[in-house]
Structure 1
Amino acid sequence: MKQLVLLAALCAGHASGKDLSEKVFTFPVESATSSVKLIANVAQPLTVLTMCMRFFSSLTRAQSLFSLDIPSQSNAFLLFKPSVDVYRLHINGAALDISGLPDETNEWNSVCWTWDSTSGLTALWVNGKRSPRAIMGASVSLSGVPSIILGQDQDSYGGGFDQSQSFVGDITDVHMWDKVISPCEIRFYMDGSAFTPGNLLSWNNLRFSTTGTVHEEQSDFNKSCF
């Protein structure tokens, strides 16, 4: 029996994903249930991360963009937007507000977030502009199977959703790496140019499941539009 469980886990770990190039996840309504669960290729504790994504929303209230929890810690790696022009970074429960970056309502926003626990240095890029580097999560190691959710803030591992913090709009091009990618790679991503896809999460080969009112639609963010 144990061998069958192990075999199933190994097969799931190597299951192929879906190419979502030119696609978006659309969250059309406020909801306490609508979400997308992402399955990352994680084989060791997370100590260095870069996450990039694009989103389009008309909301001015608080909303969750990217939520990664581990069994022992909620808000382990959470990108939250408390209001227009403000982004809130959470690492291992600690929080930092970032403001002063170009932030658009009813337009596509391209976001990349880097973090290295060795130094604790973290930075947020929005629409080609970088925040000042800050220190968060120095010497922190995120251990255990991560629960990664788009569209909701996890107040508990894999759940605890709050409709008033739910995302409404479109999300696309989600990638995550187990390293701090270079500023050039970030700019390539921001511009819609060719870049190296994420090795933990790749929009070009994404394993995911949807719950509630979430739709796959054609993207209108395309480099040919520039």
Structure 2
Amino acid sequence: QFRRFREVTLTQLQAIAGNYNISYNIDARFRALAAQDEVTAAALRDTQATLRAELARAAAAARRLRRRVRRLEGRVAAWGQRQEPQEPLANRTRGPAGLGAGRWQRLRQEQQHLREGARPGVPAWETQGQVSPREPPEPLQPHGPHAEQRAAGSPPKPKKLQAWHRRRERLREEGERPPNEARSVAVLREAALQPCGAGSVLLFPNSSVENVAVLGAGLRAGLRALSLCAWLSTPAPYLGTLLSYATEDNDNKLVLHGWDRGLRGSMHFVIGDPEFRELPVTRLLDGKWHHLCLTWSSEQGKFRFYVDRRLLAAGSGFQQGYEIPAGGSLVLGQEQDELGGGFDPSEAFVGRLASLALWSRALTPGEVASLATGQGQPPGALLTLADASPRGWVRRAECACLERCP
């Protein structure tokens, strides 16, 4: 009986040992499968990271390619504009058949007189030495871009005609003033656009890629509207880059830049590359101080571009509904081809900047006029020139009045 009990016990113990081995083997297999899963997940993560890096490099290369294409298009357009006037200029040197030399010379003098108009301080009749002030003036001939339409019998629009008459009246009044008085008026007008108390001025001495000013920590919140205003003067024949805002996924979220290989009298206003608008900046390239102000609103995509209080460009539907994201790099004087770098000397700003400020709303025309005449800065500016950190050879100077800046 005892042996029987021992055999039964041994059989039960062997069954228990077998069951234990089965569960142990199952646990080992689960652990092996979990380890394989972790290895597979790690390999997948590495593959995804490599793919993202390749896509980022491809996107950066595509953006650089688009930029080069735009520059080439600008160069071709500039070359075309230089070539177009050559033939008409050559034709103007020869008089039409059937006219004598004296008659042709007189017609050319009258045409030159009409183009110049009345100069300040000189009566209109003195600009053409052959006509006496007692002689009745000859009727004005149509000239300018709409001359052919007027010659064909198409009258100018009433608003344009009234503006033209007002301008002629103003020029006549200034032309009839004594020379000293006319010069005084010009000086007063220029002084009105050069206010004192502008604060500090940033001087960008040359186009070195080391000359840059970093504006604080960039944007802390996204922008659905903006206004950027500043005083500037540049001796360069092109404007260069005033402001560049780049993020990790796009180096052209907000850019105001020109370059020496494109149309030198224009500037690109970029929001969310590749969308941009071309703005005229020829008025800014005379080496004098000028006030610039640019506004944009995402609600209807409206933008306005002012120079010395005058509206030079406007439009709508530009990046409507778009938001400029936060967390990027915001710099002055250089155009970023990558986050915080990738500068190109052909796009650098050379000159002086003063009273620069950025708002998160579109300023009204009255506020722009107040800025341009030195009547105070609207409240609520996100960033000003005081937040800029100069680098390279950029230096900061304090000026009581803009015309006295070094």
Shorter-chain TM range is 0.7 to 0.9
**Structure 1: how far apart are the matches of 2:284 and 2:233?**
11
Q: 1:223 to 1:108 in 2, by over 3 A?
A: closer
Distance 2:290 2:371 in 1: 12
TM-score, normalised via structure 2 length: 0.46
Percent of paired sites with the same residue: 23
Instruction: Report the structure, 1 or 2, having the larger helix content.
Output: 2
Structure 1 residue aligned with 2:370: 188
Counterpart CA distance in 1 for 2:332 and 2:301 is 25
Higher fraction of strand: 1
Query: Residue 223 and residue 165 in structure 1: after superposition, are their counterparts in 2 closer, same or farther (change >3 A)?
Result: closer
RMSD, matched Cα: 2.4
Distance 2:309 2:250 in 1: 31
Of the three residues 329, 334, 346, the one matched with 1:152 is: 334
In 2, distance between residues paired with 1:84 and 1:193?
Answer: 32
- How far the C-alpha of 1:48 sits from its partner, in A, is 0.8
* Aligned AA (1:115): W
Q: Which residue of 1 aligns with 2:89?
A: none
**SS in structure 1 opposite 2:323?**
coil
**TM-score normalised by length of structure 1:** 0.81
Equivalent of 1:140, from 312, 322, 332? 322
- Partner of 1:98 in structure 2? 279
User: Is 2:304–2:314's contact at 8 Å kept on the other side of the alignment?
Assistant: yes
Q: Which range moved further: 135-144 or 76-85? A: 76-85
CA distance in 1, matches of 2:362, 2:217: 17
Of residues 49, 56, 68, the one that matches 2:226 is: 49
Give the gaps of 5 or more residues in structure 2.
1-196
Distance 1:158 1:118, change over 3 A: same
Structure ranking higher on relative contact order (CA contacts 8 Å, 6+ apart): 1
Alpha-carbon offset, residue 159 of structure 1: 1.0
Q: Work out whether residues 198 and 401 of structure 2, in 8 Å CA contact, stay in contact via their aligned partners in 1.
A: no
2:266 matched to which residue of 1? Answer: 86
Distance 1:69 1:151, change over 3 A: same
Larger Rg: 2
The runs of 5 or more residues in structure 1 that have no matched partner are 1-19
- For this pair of structures, how many residues does the alignment match? 203
Match among 59, 63, 82 for residue 240 of structure 2: 63
Shift of residue 118, structure 1, vs aligned partner: 1.6
Contact 1:102 1:129 in 2 (8 A): no
Matched, 1:33 2:210: yes
1:70-95 deviations in Å (ceiling 9; x for gaps): 33222211111345432221111112
CA distance in 2, matches of 1:69, 1:158: 7
Q: Per the alignment, in what secondary structure is the counterpart of residue 188 of structure 1?
A: helix
The answer to whether residue 300 in structure 2 is matched with residue 119 in structure 1 is yes
Give the equivalent residue in structure 2 for 1:7.
Answer: none
